[in-house]
Structures are given as C-alpha cells and as structure tokens.
Amino acid sequence: PSPIRLADYRPPAWTVARIELEFDLGIDTSEVHSRLHLHRDPAQDAPLRLDGEGLELLAIALDGQPLDASAYRYRENVLEVDGVADGSVLETRVRVRPAANTALEGLYLSGSRERGFLLTQCEAEGFRHITFFPDRPDVLTRYTVTLRAERERFPVLLAGGNPDGAGELPDGRHWARFVDPYPKPCYLFALVAGRLEKLERDYVTADGRRVALVIWAEPDVIECCHYAMDALERAMRWDEQAYGRNFDLDVFHVVATHDFNMGAMENKGLNIFNAKYLLADPDTTTDDEYRAVEAVIGHEYFHNWSGNRVTCRDWFQLSLKEGLTVFREQQFSADMYSPSLKRIDDVALLRRAQFPEDAGPLAHPVRPSQYSEINNFYTATVYEKGSELVRMLAGRLGPEGFRRGMDLYFERNDGRAATLEDFLAALGQANGIDLAPYLAWYGQAGTPRLSGEGHYDAATRTYTLTLRQHTPPTPGQPDKRPLPIPVKLALFDPDGRMLPLHEGATEQVVVLDTQEQSFVFPGIGRAPVPSLLRGFSAPVILDYAYLPAELALLLTHDTDGFNRWEAAQQLAWRAYAELRDGRGHQALAVWGDTLAGLFDQATLDPALLADLLTPLSEVELAERETDVDPARIHALRQTLQRELASRIGAGVLADRYRALTAQASDALDAASQARRRLKRRVLELLVLLDAPAAHAFATAQFERAATMTDRLAGLAVLVRSGAPQAAGALARYRTRHADNALALDKWFAVQAQIPGEPALARVRALEADPKFTLKNPNRVQALLGTWARGNPSGFHRADGEGYRFLAARLAELDALNPQVAARLATAFNGWQRLEPVRREKARAAVAGLAEQSLSRNLAEIVGNMLK
C-alpha cells in the first residue's frame, strides 16, 4: 500500500456529531449496533466512506430505511454508502469475534475463556475493528454507549463517560449506559466487561467537582491496586497545582489487564493499564517498578488534557500529545522523587533507545512526514525526543512563561484537534516570542552533534566559548539545517567554585542557532572549566575536549547532579576507549580514583553514587563504535568495571555492602530505595573482584530479602555471573512466584540477560517452559525482548544463530500480533554497523524475513531496515 503523507492532509469530508453505540457482548461473538449522526463538509463532494476492518456486516439502514445491496460497497476495509445527506443517520449492525482476536486491537478477550474479561484497545486505528466509522483523530463525536451482556458472566459493564442508567433484561442479561459529554475522537473510546473487583475513592477537584476514582482488577490482584490509587490522587493534585487542570467527569475508571500491547491507554474516563504498570505489592514489585507505576498513572491521567480535551489533528501530530505528556510526567516524577535522578534516568533512556533509532535506518523526525503503519510510530523519537523538544521550549520561556503559554494552548484548543503549529503559536504568543524556529526540530531527524572549545584570555579576563553544530544525514534527509540549541552553562574556577556570570547569576543559557557561534564571558579571573548542557538542556551529542582532570573537577564539584553524572559518563567513555585501544590508563586512573574518593563521602546521595558508579551501557558504547563487536564490548566493559572495583577495593566494597545490608528495610521512601540501589551496584562491582564472597552475599540477600528489589538484585547477580548457587535460587524463585504473572516475567527476563553465547540456549529452553506463550506481550517482552533488545552480547552471536532464531520467532509472532512483532524486530536496528561477519549474517536473516508474507507492521520495519 502507498504511504500516508502529512502533505496530503485534508479535513474530513464527513464528520459524526453523535454516535449511539449498542453492544451485545459475548466471548466468541459480539454484536455492535451503531447509529451515526453525519455531517457533510459543504466544501467537499466526496461520498461517505467509513473505515471497517474484519467486520461482518449484518444490517445497514439509512435514515431508518434498510439499504439495498446496490447502495453500498464494503471492500478493502472501506464501506462506501450512496445517497447520504448532511444530517443523515446511518445505522449498521456488525459481528466481531473477541476470543479469536490475538492482535489485541479492537474488542478482545483478556485471560481465559472461563475467567477472563472483554476489553477494547482503539488507539491508533482499533475502532475500525469494532464498527464502521471515520477512524481519524480529527472527527470529534459525542458518545452514548449501551452495553448488554449475561449478568453472571459479565457482572461489571464499563464504558467511558458518565453513567446514565443500568438495569435488568430477560434471560439473566443486564445493561448499562454511559454518556460522554465531551466530543472525542474514536481512538479514545473504550469498554470493559467481565468479573472484576474494584477499589474506590472519593476525590474533590480543586474546582469543586466530586469524582469517584475506581480501579478495577481481577479478584486475585485487586489488593495490589492501593499504590496506584494513591499515585492517581497525587497526579490529579499535581496537575491542578502545576497546570491548573481539573478532572472533568463524575467518575474516572482505571482497569488492569495482563494482555496489552503497550503500557497503558488514556481512553476518556476509562484508562486501561497493562497490569505491569498498575499492580504493585512489596513482595513482587521492585523500586523501579513502583516508580514506573506512578509515572504511567501520571502519564495517562495527564493525557486527559494533553491528548483528550486537546487532541491531535492527524497521527503526524502524535508527539503533540505524547511528547508533551511525557514531559508533564517527567516533571511530575521529578517533583515526587528526585529531579537529578529522574533526569539521569530519562537521559539514559533517551541515549539507550532514541539515539540509536535516530542514527539508524529507522530514523524519523519527531513529526514524521509519511508512514505506512501508524503503530510503528509510537517510538522513542516521538515520545522521548518529543519530550526533550517541549523541555527546550519550556526552558526558553521560563516556568511562568511556559505556564502562561500552556494556559493559552489549553484555552484556545479545548475541544479541538490541534497541530504542533497550534502548540508553538500558543506558547509563543502568550509570551510575545516567535518560537517558529523551533519547528525545525520537529521536522528534522538525526541527533545533532555539538562541538566546541573554550579560550581564556588572561589579559582581558575574558573567556570565549565557541560552539559548532552538525547533524549527520538520515534516510531521506541528506542535508540538515542548523537548529536552535539552548546550552545551559556554568563556569567553575579550578577550585571547583561557580563563577558569577551575567548580573551575578551563576548559570546562563546561550542559544546556538547557526552553524558556529562564539560567546564571550567578561570578568573571569582564572581559566575556567565550563559545565555545558546542564540538566541536558538539548537532545544533542556533545563533543568537548575536556581534560580528564577537568571532568574529575565537574564530577566532584558540579552543583548540577545531572552534570556530575555526565562527567562520570564522559570519563568512563575515555577510560573505555583507552582500554580498547591499548593507550595507557590516564582517564581510567582519574575516573577510578575520583569515584573511589567519592565512595565514602557521607553527604553523597547513595542513589546518585550508584549512578555515578555505572558506566555507559553496552548499547551506548556500541553507538559510539564502528564495526561493532558486541562480545568485545561486553568484555571491555567488564574489564572497565573490574578496574573501577579494584580502585575502590574489595574490602571497602564488602564493608559498604555489609553496612547497607544492616540498614535494610522494606520501606519505600527515597532514602531506603537509594540504599537498595547502591547495594546492588556495590554487589555488581564486588562480584568482579571476589566472586565467591559476592555470591555468598547475593545468596543470603536473595534468601532473606524483605523486598523484591533486593531479592531480584541477588538473583540477577547470581544468574549473570554464572554462580553455582544460581540454579537453586532460580528454582526457589519459580516456586515462590509460580502464580504471579508479573513476578514470573522477571524470572524469564533475568535469565534472558545471561551474557554471551550461552544466552540463546537458555532462551530456547525457556521457550519450552509451559508458562511461556507468544500470545502474551509481556511474556514475549520478558524473554525475547530482554534477550534481543537488552542483551547485545547474548543476541549478536558471531555464528548468526541469534539472528536466525529471532527471525523465525518474528514470523510466528507476526501471525498472532503484528504490533508486538514489529516492535521486537527493531532489535535488528544497527545491523549495518556490526563487524562484517555478524553484519552479513544479520542482513541475511532480515532479508529472509522480508521475503515472507508479513503484516504491514512488520513489513514496514523490515523494509526500512534493508533500505
């Protein structure tokens, strides 16, 4: 099929002001009756064309009259109807098959036939699998939804909007109706029906609305929803305070499912969550997972304004809601937790997931100009880089200016399907600033390289910083324009003190908006060390020729926690490069000794220390190499860490480990989490120096852990380092958590992380486990995703077996769930940069896949990969 292009956008010829939807729900078959109140755009003369995929059309009528077969055509996923006029009402009745729906898009069954429940997933284009409709986000419609089903099998019936009646029907059936007063695009429609339990809490919004917050889950896990409820309340309060946004319905439902293609979905008034991001309990949830639950709860809730009240005109504008909502969630999480640690986590994710995307065959702008399958564009670029672009805009305007701009954006675009231009116009106009130059960031793919050098002139007491930018070509975009790059900076004197800059401030933002520019700082008494891109003020790759001692100074003294970490990362990279090239140990010594010096600093937050002690990931190291050999990268990174460990010393590590163990608790506060994070890092370093001692610690930690964080950390150290105790621990974990799907996912994932060649045999063995299934996206991600996307030395075997195995599984998975298959296939991203032997084997595997009959989702990814 030919691609869909942004340049071809036309407003809809037909819109639907109101829809009355009635469902007769059943597991094998459900019937959907729809009544569309249609409006024609007088400026267009197109026949009514509605999207519909896999629908069995049972009846069709126009303005109350059944239609003759000659008056409509249903082919190639489009229903075309003749004789429709402005104001006409089109009625259709269709049959769909939830239990047979393994793609988890449209109406489907979660769980078993006996105990599972029915639910929908419509973003991006799932509504067309439920009924005929103009399935595009700029058609905003008022929904009245009536659900009917057998009461015994489906006691709970939910749809988005406010409840509008419920009652009994003959033959043990019942009904419930919901009316949503806010016009919405069909991708925000949702229903849920089944045997679910609830947690309920009353909430009064800042503007005085009484809202019932209701979280629904299957009976065995409902008690795991308390943390999510608290997080939801925190998110709602935060959005009121930070953005003045209140919730706007009488009830807000949240539902947990184990069968979900992504993290969660912001359907109006009826959010649906992957259980992984909703359920939490001390016995099975790690600290990182607790934080992820809070973040995803926040993200979906914040969509109620950034996405639902103001939605997207078309899917090219996806980052308008996703980039903005990720940014809002990042602010929320920073406020709930620690701004520096949150920033480190987010930038690490950007570098791990988005930079490689932007540097390879799948590179695309935050606002792509064309796509074949929209589900392939829910990417790190649209989400994470999109958030970085909002952050740059917010930084440019300052907190008050940004809030003024956001208020205007929401006010102007409430109830509309907006564009990124609308967003920038509102932010700019509220502040009298032209932000149009920032639009270039949305249209240009690739990560800009920022380079520079400083020059100090003692005679004039001036420091001159010269900055340059360059963005390498990406597929379809050979030539790049300069972008506005805000560089937040500070200058440190050689004693590690910040120097006053403009008007006494110690921080300043300079904007590089040409290819090269110099910035002069007068009144500087001694040659300074610049701290650049503080807080990662722009999503670029910085290349600045710091001396190792200068990085050590920033690592020790920078007041920006993120930039301290950044200095450690830079030093670790230099140390790695020295080891790789056999070029002495200068940076290695500075890195190791500086961290060893910080190791005992009582004032340093243990969580930050843990991050400082973590060098770049194998994925990031591969990003910086050519002729990538993942096995060598793994070995070198291990050597690097061993060097660090030995500079700290086995005794010091062991003592710190014991001290942290003595302080262990099951509390969830930031200080307890920080200690657990450091304890794990210390254990990971110790195992490289004194494996028997570390294995004994890890075993004891695993056996006695009061939290899943500690239990899993102990297990991971044993499994990844090949400890003799690993098999026993895995067996005990398996028995203990046999009935908990999320805990079992971690059991699969931890084994998929075994480094090197043995990983594939383990993955194969685990595939044969009765608990493994290709039908469950979380399980697929836990085993195949962790191995192929998170374990480079395990996946990239020199014999190419990993590639052949993944290609075979992708073909199988594609027949069941194309969205999940396409996402997993991105594991091949970067194959062109592998060393020649692996490169040829990876190419052959991808090419072999391309020759098969694939879904549009997988075909697009594989096709782009081979371009």
Chain contacts with ligand HT7 (rule: CB under 6 A): 121, 123-124, 260-262, 264-266, 299-300, 303, 322, 378
Non-local (6+) Cβ contacts of 242 within 8 A are 328, 331, 332, 335
Minimum CB–partner distance for residue 299 and Zn ion (Å): 5
Non-local (6+) Cβ contacts of 73 within 8 A are 79, 80
265 contact, one of Zn ion, ligand HT7, none, CB 5-8 Å limit per kind: ligand HT7
- Tell me, what DSSP letter sits at residue 498? B
Other beta carbons within 10 angstroms of residue 782's beta carbon come to 25
Closest CA to 79 of 142, 29, 135: 135
141 contact, one of Zn ion, ligand HT7, none, CB 5-8 Å limit per kind: none
562 contact, one of Zn ion, ligand HT7, none, CB 5-8 Å limit per kind: none
Say how many Å lie between the first and final Cα of the chain, rounded.
Answer: 17
d(CA 127, CA 16): 14
- Applying CB under 5 A, the site for Zn ion has a residue count of 2
Minimum CB–partner distance for residue 394 and Zn ion (Å): 18
Letters for 56-95 (x = contact with Zn ion by CB under 5 A, - = none) are ----------------------------------------
Closer residue to Zn ion, CB minimum distance, 273 or 772: 273
Q: Would you call 381 exposed, middle or buried from its count of C-beta atoms within 10 A (0-12, 13-18, 19+)?
A: buried
124 contact, one of Zn ion, ligand HT7, none, CB 5-8 Å limit per kind: ligand HT7
72 contact, one of Zn ion, ligand HT7, none, CB 5-8 Å limit per kind: none
* Residue list 310-329, contact with Zn ion (CB under 5 A): 322, 325
Minimum CB–partner distance for residue 121 and ligand HT7 (Å): 5
Give the phi and the psi of residue 342 in degrees, each rounded to 5: -65, -40
Minimum CB–partner distance for residue 177 and ligand HT7 (Å): 25
Minimum CB–partner distance for residue 307 and Zn ion (Å): 7
Strands of the sheet with 508-512, listed across from one edge: 508-512, 485-492, 529-531
Minimum CB–partner distance for residue 322 and Zn ion (Å): 5
305 contact, one of Zn ion, ligand HT7, none, CB 5-8 Å limit per kind: none
751 contact, one of ligand HT7, Zn ion, none, CB 5-8 Å limit per kind: none
Minimum CB–partner distance for residue 350 and ligand HT7 (Å): 16
673 contact, one of ligand HT7, Zn ion, none, CB 5-8 Å limit per kind: none
Closer residue to ligand HT7, CB minimum distance, 54 or 472: 54
d(CA 274, CA 260): 5
d(CA 553, CA 585): 18
Other beta carbons within 10 angstroms of residue 733's beta carbon come to 21
Closer residue to ligand HT7, CB minimum distance, 124 or 827: 124
Closer residue to Zn ion, CB minimum distance, 328 or 675: 328
Burial 173-211, CB ≥16 within 10 A → b, else e? bbbbbbbbebbbbbbbbbbbbbebebbeeebebeeeeeb
- Tell me, what DSSP letter sits at residue 50? E
Closer residue to Zn ion, CB minimum distance, 329 or 629: 329
378 contact, one of ligand HT7, Zn ion, none, CB 5-8 Å limit per kind: ligand HT7
Query: Are 783 and 767 contacting, i.e. CB atoms less than 8 angstroms apart?
Result: yes
Minimum CB–partner distance for residue 479 and ligand HT7 (Å): 32
Closest CA to 223 of 281, 285, 283, 156: 281
Within 523-649, residue ranges assigned H as helices are 548-557, 561-581, 586-599, 606-612, 618-623, 630-648
- Tell me, what DSSP letter sits at residue 193? E
Before 743, cis peptide (omega within 30)?
A: no
Spot the catalytic one: 53, 218, 294, 300: 300
Minimum CB–partner distance for residue 313 and ligand HT7 (Å): 16
For strand 416-418 and strand 485-492, is the pairing parallel, antiparallel, or unpaired?
unpaired
d(CA 592, CA 290): 32
Closer residue to ligand HT7, CB minimum distance, 378 or 795: 378
- Tell me, what DSSP letter sits at residue 70? G
* Residue list 325-364, contact with Zn ion (CB under 5 A): 325
CA angle 851, 853, 858 (to 5 degrees): 90
Q: Report which residue's Cβ sits closest to ligand HT7.
A: 262
Max Cα-Cα span within the chain: 95
Closer residue to Zn ion, CB minimum distance, 177 or 309: 309
CA angle 693, 698, 704 (to 5 degrees): 125
Closer residue to Zn ion, CB minimum distance, 125 or 287: 125
Residue type, 744: L
Q: Specify whether 618 is catalytic.
A: no
Minimum CB–partner distance for residue 314 and Zn ion (Å): 17
Torsion angle, CA of 159/163/168/171, rounded to 10 degrees? -10
- Tell me, what DSSP letter sits at residue 221? G
Give the phi and the psi of residue 763 in degrees, each rounded to 5: -65, -45
Closer residue to ligand HT7, CB minimum distance, 329 or 618: 329
Closer residue to ligand HT7, CB minimum distance, 137 or 365: 137
* Residue list 471-500, contact with Zn ion (CB under 5 A): none
Closer residue to ligand HT7, CB minimum distance, 14 or 133: 133
Minimum CB–partner distance for residue 148 and Zn ion (Å): 31
Minimum CB–partner distance for residue 472 and Zn ion (Å): 29
Beta strands per DSSP E along 355-415: 370-371
Q: Residue 742 is encoded by which pair of tokens?
A: 């999320």
363 contact, one of ligand HT7, Zn ion, none, CB 5-8 Å limit per kind: none
Q: Residue 640 is encoded by which pair of tokens?
A: 């690097």
Letters for 282-301 (x = contact with Zn ion by CB under 5 A, - = none) are --------------------
287 contact, one of ligand HT7, Zn ion, none, CB 5-8 Å limit per kind: none
Non-local (6+) Cβ contacts of 293 within 8 A are 227, 228, 231, 277, 278, 279, 280, 285
Closer residue to ligand HT7, CB minimum distance, 324 or 598: 324
784 contact, one of Zn ion, ligand HT7, none, CB 5-8 Å limit per kind: none
Closest CA to 446 of 474, 468, 470: 474
Query: Are 319 and 382 contacting, i.e. CB atoms less than 8 angstroms apart?
Result: yes
Angle of the 586-599 helix axis to the 561-581 helix axis, nearest 10: 140
Helical (H) or strand (E) element with 17: strand 14-24
Residue type, 605: D
Query: Are 676 and 285 contacting, i.e. CB atoms less than 8 angstroms apart?
Result: no
Closer residue to Zn ion, CB minimum distance, 319 or 325: 325
Letters for 620-659 (x = contact with Zn ion by CB under 5 A, - = none) are ----------------------------------------
Minimum CB–partner distance for residue 383 and Zn ion (Å): 7
Query: Are 793 and 634 contacting, i.e. CB atoms less than 8 angstroms apart?
Result: yes
* Contacts to Zn ion by CB under 5 A: 322, 325
Which residue numbers are catalytic? 300
